[in-house]
Amino acid sequence: MAEQVKRPVKITETILRDAHQSLIATRMTTNQMLPIIEKMDKVGYHSVECWGGATFDASLRFLKEDPWERLRKLREGFKNTKLQMLFRGQNILGYRHYADDVVEYFVQKSIANGIDIIRIFDCLNDIRNLETAVKAANKEKGHAQVALAYTLGEAYTLDYWTDMAKRIEEMGADSLCIKDMAGLLVPYKATELVETLKGATSLPIQLHTHYTSGVASMTYMKAIEAGCDIIDTAMSPFAMGTSQPATEVMAETFKGTEYDPGFDQNLLAEIADYFRPIRDEALDSKLLNPKVMGVDIKTLLYQVPGGMLSNLVSQLKDAHQEDKYYDVLQEIPCVRKDFGEPPLVTPSSQIVGTQAVLNVLAGERYKMVTKESKALLRGEYGQTVKPFNPEVQKKAIGDEKAITCRPADLLNPELKTIEAEMAQWKEQDEDVLTYALFPQVATDFFKYRQAQKTKVDITAADTASKAYPV
């Protein structure tokens, strides 16, 4: 009998970023992460995704933590494991396009503070919005992974994905990720897609999906059999639902096969035991809604990510029009088509969803158009895979001329201006970037940080001579 050729699947652990972002609104604190790092470092992960995405904003806004400080502490703890972040192309981690000098500086500082792999994506899959970040990562000797936002629609053929993969390889990416943010990739389609991409490019291929529609584990299995190199999983207490498949389950599935990652289930069990009370606490405090742990097959019917569905429900609730839910679900694909069929991921999902709600509630399509919809139709986010509906575009922006160049080409360098604006708060170089992304939230955080420093430490006070060290 021929000896089995081993090609163990590599695993990226998401519990420190996407898993808690998807299930408990990114509320895990640095102090909750640090005690378990030593054990996580022994697992043999390909990488640990622990930064970027919504963690930056949430750390500042809700946890009163410096995200850069978190990164440095994680770097200190993970001696043997690569650290990975999610980066929204020209949007960095914010919600608008930033000038190239800000993007370059952010990449430089992320790598300097401990990031090894930067996963870069654009909500429209507009390759022009990825170039600056990829080049910056190459220059800093970081690993630039480009993620294609996976979606369905007549424009998204195997030829489309193949062409994108080739262009990404030419751009200088080190690896390619299929980013299935809505759980739309079903098992046999995964076989087809991975085999096609493997034939078109020599880049390692990683697959990222969410359990929302209930097929993710099967999709991973078929993708790995088809040649996928790396998958994203989460430790079981924060797995499934709108998060990723469970790390332990995937490791056990491939045990004893050519794909065996060789993980120690006892070590994984200890790590799971550590995170379970954190999950239970989130359940007790209603931070974790049991609803997000179920399977929502509507994701596949309407191609709407889980987070977007809950958003729609709350918008309709506020308007006391919950009975219009199915009308809105039917309107979403129509708006998406009018808007050039973009993938539905931050921020395009919010733009399309909100516009669909307005169209239904107003009883007339595009009677009211949000400023974000106008910006999208003006070309401010970049180029969509199909042209906009010209009538809808005209109704929204009138005779304004739409942008056809890369949106960031219209931005002047802004680092120096930003630095001058926030000089009074600057304690480290990274503060300039924090302020660049979230000026108001950053200012509030800097004030809080300063207040913490000026508190009198009573225990260290020399009460006899009335000296109170600050």
Distance CA(91)–CA(346), nearest Å, equals 10
The mean pLDDT of 441-465, rounded to a whole number, is 77
Neighbours of 281 (CB within 10 A): 13
pLDDT score recorded for residue 143: 98
pLDDT score recorded for residue 295: 86
DSSP 115: -
Distance CA(118)–CA(256), nearest Å, equals 32
pLDDT score recorded for residue 184: 94
pLDDT score recorded for residue 459: 58
Rounded to whole angstroms, what are the CA distances from 159 to 156, 162, 193, 255, 303? 8, 5, 10, 35, 21
In sequence order, the 6+-apart residues with CB closer than 8 A to the CB of 38 are: 77
Q: For the chain, what percent of residues have pLDDT higher than 90? A: 84
The string of pLDDT tens digits covering residues 286-335 is 999 888 888 888 888 877 776 677 778 778 888 999 899 889 989 999 99
Domain 10-285 maps to which CATH number in 3.20.20.70, 3.90.1660.10, 3.40.50.2300, 3.40.50.300?
3.20.20.70
The string of pLDDT tens digits covering residues 324-346 is 988 998 999 999 999 999 999 87
Distance CA(455)–CA(470), nearest Å, equals 6
R_g over Cα of the chain: 23
Residues in a beta bridge with 230: 10, 206
The string of pLDDT tens digits covering residues 168-191 is 999 999 999 999 999 999 999 999
Q: Are 238 and 279 in contact (CB under 8 A)?
A: yes
Does pLDDT of 462 surpass 80? no
- The whole model's pTM is what? 0.93
The token pair that represents 190 in the structure block:
């995964």
pLDDT score recorded for residue 387: 96
pLDDT score recorded for residue 2: 60
Lowest mean pLDDT among 43-57, 113-127, 198-212, 299-313: 299-313
Does pLDDT of 347 surpass 90? no
pLDDT score recorded for residue 448: 96
Rounded to whole angstroms, what are the CA distances from 368 to 221, 350, 361, 364, 394? 45, 16, 10, 9, 13
3-class DSSP state for residue 233?
A: strand
Distance CA(341)–CA(153), nearest Å, equals 7
3-class DSSP state for residue 180?
A: strand
Rounded to whole angstroms, what are the CA distances from 336 to 5, 188, 307, 397? 45, 26, 17, 17
What architecture is the 304-404 domain classified under in CATH?
Answer: Orthogonal Bundle (1.10)
The token pair that represents 15 in the structure block:
């519990």
Q: What are phi and psi of 170, to 5 degrees?
A: -65, -30
Whether the CA torsion 53, 48, 83, 32 is positive or negative: it is positive
Exposure of 286 by Cβ count < 10 A (0-12 exposed, 13-18 middle, 19+ buried)? Answer: exposed
Q: Report the candidate in 92, 136, 156, 139 with the shortest Cα–Cα distance to residue 347.
A: 92
Q: Report the candidate in 109, 116, 166, 124 with the shortest Cα–Cα distance to residue 145.
A: 116
117-120 and 205-209 as β-strands: parallel, antiparallel, unpaired? Answer: unpaired
Q: Report the candidate in 50, 117, 60, 120 with the shortest Cα–Cα distance to residue 92.
A: 120
Distance CA(76)–CA(451), nearest Å, equals 27
3-class DSSP state for residue 344?
A: coil
Q: Mean of the per-residue pLDDT values for the chain?
A: 93
Domain spans, the chain? 10-285, 304-404, 415-460
Torsion of CA 153, 158, 163, 166, to 10 degrees: 130
The mean pLDDT of 375-399, rounded to a whole number, is 96
pLDDT score recorded for residue 302: 78
The string of pLDDT tens digits covering residues 250-300 is 999 999 999 999 999 999 999 999 999 999 999 999 999 888 888 888 888
Distance CA(390)–CA(9), nearest Å, equals 46
Residues in a beta bridge with 145: 119, 175
3-class DSSP state for residue 50?
A: strand
Q: For the chain, what percent of residues have pLDDT higher than 70? A: 96
The string of pLDDT tens digits covering residues 196-246 is 999 999 999 999 999 999 999 999 999 999 999 999 999 999 999 999 999
Beta strands, E only, 46-102:
47-52, 82-87
Q: Are 180 and 207 in contact (CB under 8 A)?
A: yes
